[in-house]
Chain A
Amino acid sequence: MKIIGLNDQEVEAALRSAGLGLSVSEARSIAEVLGRDPTVPELFNYDTMWSEHCSYKSSRATLNEFLHTTGPNVVQGPEEDAGIVAIDDEWCVVIAHESHNHPSQILPNEGAATGIGGIVRDVNCMGAKVVATADPLRFGDPYGEDKNHVRWVAEGVVDGIWQYGNALGVPIIAGDVVFDDSFDTNCLVNVVAIGVVKRGEIIKSRAPAGAGEKGYDVIVIGKPTDSSGFGGVTFASEELREEDEEANRGAIQIPDPFLKNVLFKANEALFQLTRQEGITIGFKDLGGGGFTCASSEMGASAGYGMDLDLDKLHKASENLPPEVVACAETQERFMLICPPELTPRVLEIYNEDWDLPNVYEGARASVVGKVTTNGRYITRYRGKVTCDVSIEHLTKGIRYAREERPRKTSLSEPVITAPDDLTDALLKVLASPNVSSREHIYRYYDTEVQGNSVIRPGEADAGLIAPVRGEKFGIALSVDANPFYGRISPYWAGATAVAEAMRNVAAIGAYPATLTDCLNFGNPEKPEAFWEFRECVKGLADAAKALWLKGYEDTPVPIVSGNVSFYNESPDGTVDPSPIIACVGLIDDVRDAVTMNLKKAGDSIYLIGPRFDELGGSEYYRTVYGVTGKNVPEVRFELERNMIYAVIDSIARKLVVSTHDISNGGLGATAAEMALAGKGDLGMELALDSAGSDLSADRLVFSESSGFLLECKEEAEEELEKLLKGYGLDIMCLGKVAESPELVMTHKGKTVLRMDLETAKKAWTGGLAEAMR
């Protein structure tokens, strides 16, 4: 394509008419480095590799500045497809976390399904068995102006997740769903996958040492390449405009969990073969950026070049232009780099043993080229060289220094007169789509497949699996982020998301071992959006640093994987800042974990965490009064750390039999959920005067300051109090588990809340189903 000699307007016109997202200056810099006009396939390769999605060109500097990605338990930081931390001397947990926001807004079912499909490949390609997924979701207001569209998106996304995840055979053990009008035209669909692998059996997504010198084969495995998903990463790196919707549909990939299921089994046979033979391979999934991204990164990260023949790649049609073959994001594909002597056995595994060509039309494993030592990224098609560029220049990407400017808001605390009786207010909060039981959704998810599930959605604050038969250890998983806090303070949204994700795994007795962050924001070219992004990253990094890895003082909880999703914006506005955090917790023996349902009448209920006047962004303000407020919950780092570790220790010492953290809906919702999670036959009688605060009753009940409620085992009170004091925590025994199915709260000699659990259950179980109807 001609660039040299043309003026800026002419270059701009040429780029746009070709469908490229590159800027004029980017295109000129490429021509300059090449010393000639680039070919069209070359420009598409650069467009892909230099997109925000692949290159993190706006975010990289901020991430490097703030995030702690190393730690004593880190086996693999964020530079590969998935991060890895050690469980014990033998086993490791692998985690990856991504967004699939734009595709899910346009085609909810396919978008969400390919989100799951992509993230499980990231974990599997490290040599791991994928053992669980989680899905944090954000939808628009189900009762607002766009309600019909919002519900269509929500239903389609949930369908896409279960149809893919259930068929693949990976249990969905965690997730969250928040409805907020800032997501009316930009839903967020994040996906988390975890796997297990032995430390000595991890496979890297790069060409192995010696691959260039010995001319290792490059093999593409899976579905035949078609044009689906062409332009996907570029589409993910622009704002969504309604008029582009038709064109954008083509950028969405097509899911196939059936083929993936067979591919995973064939991959396991490949992994077994390489372990037996002691051969090191490189293995990577083909995801965003397709063939170009996988092949160039696998070569460049090992300092090698690539010589690839697109004619040898199996395709759905022979009429595809070279740039489509190279950059399409056809799903269910992997790339393997192996010594040539292994190749015949690899082809046998995929093409004969697992019979890919008969399982799916056109699917197979094909040798497409060689690793080289010349540092060039060369592709050939129909006998011609279609790309010949420096592999390092192609993959190292570019960096932009973006401007930041605080977003101006005019939020204030409301003046409210609380009713004397808070029962109705709590019922409203329990019925809110953001607080009510998630059962309507999780019954669609196969939470039991693989037979490893110990704690499922709805039973506790985090899911728990025992992923290796014969071993006692468990992996807990939770996800969190509150967009309403993000609207008020992006910094505290980042910090509270980390704290709550950690509290969630602590609440079952697991210690937080690692975090991942999927950072969902608006257009980074706008200084306010970029400011929100930086504030969130600062907040979450500060919290990870201050809350410490258990057993190590002053050592941050490492963040080993993550993703940045910008451009979650349309002409109608931007999404509330959403730094979605996933936390992996570990527990030595899954049978020591506790759930949140009340266990026994007469047990004492303790509050951990003093209540503060922090109702900004709370469910109470929004649901009962229709206001946002300003006093967002803050994370008091030392207090938070002591709370989290006191809870983990009290569970390990078997002093508490149920726990639930305090978050959306405050102490009131937490107490109600503990009563409703079981059979609903046990209630609670709580005296708010013991909460050690002079706040009014409604603030005590609904403040979302962080904390926990604990149910103490009979006659363990003294020991629990001693443990809590040892952590410098106030002793706040609020009352007892009651035999009657009723939640009662008193304050200053008056009953301020009396709610029968039958009524509460109706409100709590109906809210989400009603919102998604």
Chain B
Amino acid sequence: MKIAVVQFPGTNCEHETLVAARSAGLSGEIFRWNRPAEELSDFDGYIIPGGFSYQDRLRAGAIASKEPVMEALREEAELGKPIIGICNGFQILVESGLLPGLDGVNVALAQNVMVSKGEIVRRGFYCAWTTLRHESPPKRCSGSFLLEKGDLIRMPLAHAEGNLVTADERLMDRLNEENQVVFRYCSEQGEVDDEFPVNINGSLENIAGICNPEGNVLGMMPHPERSSFAFQLPPTDARKCVGDMGAAGPGRRVFESMKRYIEVRR
């Protein structure tokens, strides 16, 4: 099972993402943006990692979404292959219309606005650990294929624009009805509270990750590759120093899910 970690100018998480995918039993390579796009069809799945592709010019992800490799990825997505976009990768998938995948570009990942008790307490870039609650049924989505509904997984986020907004009043209902909301930000105990710091970036309904209607394309702001090894966990987490340097962290479930999804599809 070979995956491509797609690299744009300005991407900066490709190496640790590939390491995390390999730790889950996937094989793969980093795919530079200016390679012939048709070579992408040789792969079984795709990850668009985090970073600042094209310097976030215009809007985060806007330029990369127009690259030939994204047109190729759209074709692969239509074949049902899994694509996971993390952080800037999520932004690129939104800008390309692959997410939420409902005809055109109808959501945006806007600047973070942290609100508590009716006051804006902070804006912009924020890096911290958070907890995600898995919202969709099992096997609904490629990147959470192995997770049960209600499972909690911890991982860090680090972005300035991850605040999911939409101008379409009916969109949230559609996403909820179709089980396209995959992850929400919640407290360590699993409660979804729309106040900062639980709603860490101001996203509508605490949304941290969504998938397309078919479930093969997932976009998420937090970084599972930074939580794929136990040693990466915060010191207050009892799992941090258990096992060896290869011991799994909670984020590895995302890559293991992707692997299982590819296996099942075959």
Q: Hey, which bits of chain A sit against chain B, CB under 8 A?
A: 162, 166-169, 257-258, 261-262, 353, 355, 359, 442-456, 459-460, 466, 469-472, 590-591, 595, 597, 678-679
- Contact flag A448-B158 (CB < 8 Å), given A591-B241, A597-B235: yes
Residues of chain B lying within 8 A (CB to CB) of residue A459: 234-235
Alpha-carbon separation in the docked complex, A262 to B16 (Å): 17
Residues of chain A lying within 8 A (CB to CB) of residue B240: 591
The 5 closest A-B pairs by CB, nearest first: A169-B12, A451-B16, A258-B55, A595-B235, A167-B52
Residues of chain B lying within 8 A (CB to CB) of residue A447: 127, 158
Tell whether, in the assembled complex, residue B20 and residue A451 are in contact, meaning their CB atoms are under 8 Å apart.
yes
Residues of chain B lying within 8 A (CB to CB) of residue A591: 231, 240-241, 245
Instruction: With both chains docked as a complex, state the minimum distance between the C-beta of B64 and any C-beta of chain A, in angstroms.
Output: 12
Tell whether, in the assembled complex, residue B234 and residue A262 are in contact, meaning their CB atoms are under 8 Å apart.
no
Instruction: With both chains docked as a complex, state the minimum distance between the C-beta of A461 and any C-beta of chain B, in angstroms.
Output: 13
Tell whether, in the assembled complex, residue B158 and residue A453 are in contact, meaning their CB atoms are under 8 Å apart.
no
Instruction: With both chains docked as a complex, state the minimum distance between the C-beta of B232 and any C-beta of chain A, in angstroms.
Output: 6
**What does the 1/0 interface line of B3-41 toward A look like (CB < 8 Å)?**
000000111110110011000000000001010000000
B184 interface residue, CB < 8 Å from A? no
Instruction: With both chains docked as a complex, state the minimum distance between the C-beta of A470 and any C-beta of chain B, in angstroms.
Output: 7
Identity of the chain B residue whose Cβ is nearest the Cβ of A595 in the assembled complex = B235
Tell whether, in the assembled complex, residue B245 and residue A451 are in contact, meaning their CB atoms are under 8 Å apart.
no
Alpha-carbon separation in the docked complex, A442 to B54 (Å): 25
Interface residues in B206-226 (C-beta closer than 8 Å to A): 223, 225-226
- Contact flag A444-B232 (CB < 8 Å), given A262-B10, A450-B15, A450-B16: no
B189 interface residue, CB < 8 Å from A? no
B150 interface residue, CB < 8 Å from A? no
Tell whether, in the assembled complex, residue A472 and residue B235 are in contact, meaning their CB atoms are under 8 Å apart.
no
Residues of chain B lying within 8 A (CB to CB) of residue A472: 245
- Contact flag A166-B231 (CB < 8 Å), given A258-B52, A258-B55: no
Tell whether, in the assembled complex, residue A168 and residue B12 are in contact, meaning their CB atoms are under 8 Å apart.
yes
Instruction: With both chains docked as a complex, state the minimum distance between the C-beta of B19 and any C-beta of chain A, in angstroms.
Output: 6
Tell whether, in the assembled complex, residue A469 and residue B19 are in contact, meaning their CB atoms are under 8 Å apart.
yes
Tell whether, in the assembled complex, residue A444 and residue B235 are in contact, meaning their CB atoms are under 8 Å apart.
no
Residues of chain B lying within 8 A (CB to CB) of residue A445: 127
Instruction: With both chains docked as a complex, state the minimum distance between the C-beta of B155 and any C-beta of chain A, in angstroms.
Output: 9
Tell whether, in the assembled complex, residue B12 and residue A466 are in contact, meaning their CB atoms are under 8 Å apart.
no
Residues of chain A lying within 8 A (CB to CB) of residue B235: 455, 459-460, 595, 597
Residues of chain B lying within 8 A (CB to CB) of residue A443: 122, 125-128
Identity of the chain B residue whose Cβ is nearest the Cβ of A162 in the assembled complex = B125
B89 interface residue, CB < 8 Å from A? no
Identity of the chain B residue whose Cβ is nearest the Cβ of A446 in the assembled complex = B158
Instruction: With both chains docked as a complex, state the minimum distance between the C-beta of A354 and any C-beta of chain B, in angstroms.
Output: 8
Listed by A's residue number, 15 A-B pairs whose Cβ atoms lie within 8 Å are A169-B13, A258-B54, A261-B10, A261-B51, A443-B125, A443-B128, A444-B124, A448-B158, A449-B50, A451-B13, A451-B229, A455-B235, A471-B245, A591-B240, A591-B241
Identity of the chain B residue whose Cβ is nearest the Cβ of A355 in the assembled complex = B34
Alpha-carbon separation in the docked complex, A456 to B128 (Å): 10
Tell whether, in the assembled complex, residue A167 and residue B12 are in contact, meaning their CB atoms are under 8 Å apart.
yes
Instruction: With both chains docked as a complex, state the minimum distance between the C-beta of B127 and any C-beta of chain A, in angstroms.
Output: 5
Tell whether, in the assembled complex, residue A448 and residue B55 are in contact, meaning their CB atoms are under 8 Å apart.
no
Alpha-carbon separation in the docked complex, A153 to B156 (Å): 29
Interface centre among B32, B54, B231 (most CB of A within 10 A): B231
Tell whether, in the assembled complex, residue A448 and residue B231 are in contact, meaning their CB atoms are under 8 Å apart.
no
Interface centre among B50, B122, B156 (most CB of A within 10 A): B156
Alpha-carbon separation in the docked complex, A444 to B231 (Å): 23
Tell whether, in the assembled complex, residue A444 and residue B12 are in contact, meaning their CB atoms are under 8 Å apart.
no
- Contact flag A590-B231 (CB < 8 Å), given A448-B223, A451-B225: yes
Residue from the list A444, A449, A679 in contact with B13, Cβ < 8 A:
A449
Instruction: With both chains docked as a complex, state the minimum distance between the C-beta of A679 and any C-beta of chain B, in angstroms.
Output: 6
Residues of chain A lying within 8 A (CB to CB) of residue B51: 167, 169, 261
Tell whether, in the assembled complex, residue A448 and residue B226 are in contact, meaning their CB atoms are under 8 Å apart.
yes
Tell whether, in the assembled complex, residue A597 and residue B236 are in contact, meaning their CB atoms are under 8 Å apart.
yes
Tell whether, in the assembled complex, residue B231 and residue A466 are in contact, meaning their CB atoms are under 8 Å apart.
yes
Residues of chain B lying within 8 A (CB to CB) of residue A169: 12-13, 51
Identity of the chain B residue whose Cβ is nearest the Cβ of A469 in the assembled complex = B19
Alpha-carbon separation in the docked complex, A447 to B129 (Å): 11
- Contact flag A258-B232 (CB < 8 Å), given A166-B125, A166-B158: no
Residues of chain A lying within 8 A (CB to CB) of residue B226: 448-449, 451, 453
Residues of chain A lying within 8 A (CB to CB) of residue B128: 443
Identity of the chain A residue whose Cβ is nearest the Cβ of B229 in the assembled complex = A451
Alpha-carbon separation in the docked complex, A454 to B245 (Å): 11
Identity of the chain B residue whose Cβ is nearest the Cβ of A590 in the assembled complex = B231
Instruction: With both chains docked as a complex, state the minimum distance between the C-beta of A603 and any C-beta of chain B, in angstroms.
Output: 16
Alpha-carbon separation in the docked complex, A168 to B10 (Å): 8
Residue from the list A167, A446, A454 in contact with B231, Cβ < 8 A:
A454
- Contact flag A167-B55 (CB < 8 Å), given A261-B12, A459-B234: yes
Alpha-carbon separation in the docked complex, A447 to B56 (Å): 20
Alpha-carbon separation in the docked complex, A549 to B34 (Å): 49
Identity of the chain B residue whose Cβ is nearest the Cβ of A678 in the assembled complex = B236
Residues of chain A lying within 8 A (CB to CB) of residue B20: 451
Residues of chain A lying within 8 A (CB to CB) of residue B34: 355
Identity of the chain A residue whose Cβ is nearest the Cβ of B51 in the assembled complex = A169
Alpha-carbon separation in the docked complex, A452 to B20 (Å): 12
Residues of chain B lying within 8 A (CB to CB) of residue A450: 15-16
Identity of the chain B residue whose Cβ is nearest the Cβ of A459 in the assembled complex = B235
Identity of the chain A residue whose Cβ is nearest the Cβ of B19 in the assembled complex = A469
Instruction: With both chains docked as a complex, state the minimum distance between the C-beta of A381 and any C-beta of chain B, in angstroms.
Output: 32
Residues of chain B lying within 8 A (CB to CB) of residue A448: 127, 156, 158, 223, 226, 232
Alpha-carbon separation in the docked complex, A196 to B77 (Å): 39
- Contact flag A167-B19 (CB < 8 Å), given A443-B126, A448-B127: no
Identity of the chain B residue whose Cβ is nearest the Cβ of A472 in the assembled complex = B245
Alpha-carbon separation in the docked complex, A134 to B131 (Å): 27
Alpha-carbon separation in the docked complex, A446 to B9 (Å): 19
Tell whether, in the assembled complex, residue B126 and residue A444 are in contact, meaning their CB atoms are under 8 Å apart.
yes
Instruction: With both chains docked as a complex, state the minimum distance between the C-beta of A703 and any C-beta of chain B, in angstroms.
Output: 28
Alpha-carbon separation in the docked complex, A162 to B126 (Å): 10
Instruction: With both chains docked as a complex, state the minimum distance between the C-beta of A208 and any C-beta of chain B, in angstroms.
Output: 29
Residues of chain A lying within 8 A (CB to CB) of residue B56: 167
**What does the 1/0 interface line of B77-105 toward A look like (CB < 8 Å)?**
00000000000000000000000000000
Known: A449-B226, A454-B231. 19 other contacts (CB 8 A): A166-B158, A258-B54, A261-B9, A261-B11, A359-B9, A442-B127, A443-B128, A444-B124, A444-B125, A444-B126, A444-B127, A447-B127, A449-B158, A451-B228, A451-B229, A459-B234, A470-B245, A591-B245, A597-B236
Alpha-carbon separation in the docked complex, A748 to B34 (Å): 74
Alpha-carbon separation in the docked complex, A22 to B127 (Å): 47
Alpha-carbon separation in the docked complex, A679 to B226 (Å): 22
Identity of the chain B residue whose Cβ is nearest the Cβ of A261 in the assembled complex = B10
Residues of chain B lying within 8 A (CB to CB) of residue A460: 235
Instruction: With both chains docked as a complex, state the minimum distance between the C-beta of B5 and any C-beta of chain A, in angstroms.
Output: 13
Instruction: With both chains docked as a complex, state the minimum distance between the C-beta of B160 and any C-beta of chain A, in angstroms.
Output: 8
Alpha-carbon separation in the docked complex, A451 to B87 (Å): 14
Interface centre among A169, A455, A466 (most CB of B within 10 A): A169
Alpha-carbon separation in the docked complex, A190 to B225 (Å): 31
Alpha-carbon separation in the docked complex, A678 to B156 (Å): 17
Alpha-carbon separation in the docked complex, A679 to B129 (Å): 14
Alpha-carbon separation in the docked complex, A459 to B52 (Å): 27
Residue from the list B9, B15, B19, B245 in contact with A258, Cβ < 8 A:
B9
Tell whether, in the assembled complex, residue B125 and residue A453 are in contact, meaning their CB atoms are under 8 Å apart.
no
Alpha-carbon separation in the docked complex, A688 to B159 (Å): 45
Residues of chain A lying within 8 A (CB to CB) of residue B122: 443
Identity of the chain A residue whose Cβ is nearest the Cβ of B54 in the assembled complex = A258
Alpha-carbon separation in the docked complex, A262 to B232 (Å): 26
Tell whether, in the assembled complex, residue A679 and residue B124 are in contact, meaning their CB atoms are under 8 Å apart.
no
Residues of chain B lying within 8 A (CB to CB) of residue A449: 12-13, 16, 50, 158, 226
Identity of the chain B residue whose Cβ is nearest the Cβ of A439 in the assembled complex = B128
Instruction: With both chains docked as a complex, state the minimum distance between the C-beta of A352 and any C-beta of chain B, in angstroms.
Output: 9
Identity of the chain A residue whose Cβ is nearest the Cβ of B245 in the assembled complex = A472
Alpha-carbon separation in the docked complex, A257 to B52 (Å): 10
Residues of chain B lying within 8 A (CB to CB) of residue A469: 19
Identity of the chain A residue whose Cβ is nearest the Cβ of B15 in the assembled complex = A450
Identity of the chain A residue whose Cβ is nearest the Cβ of B10 in the assembled complex = A258
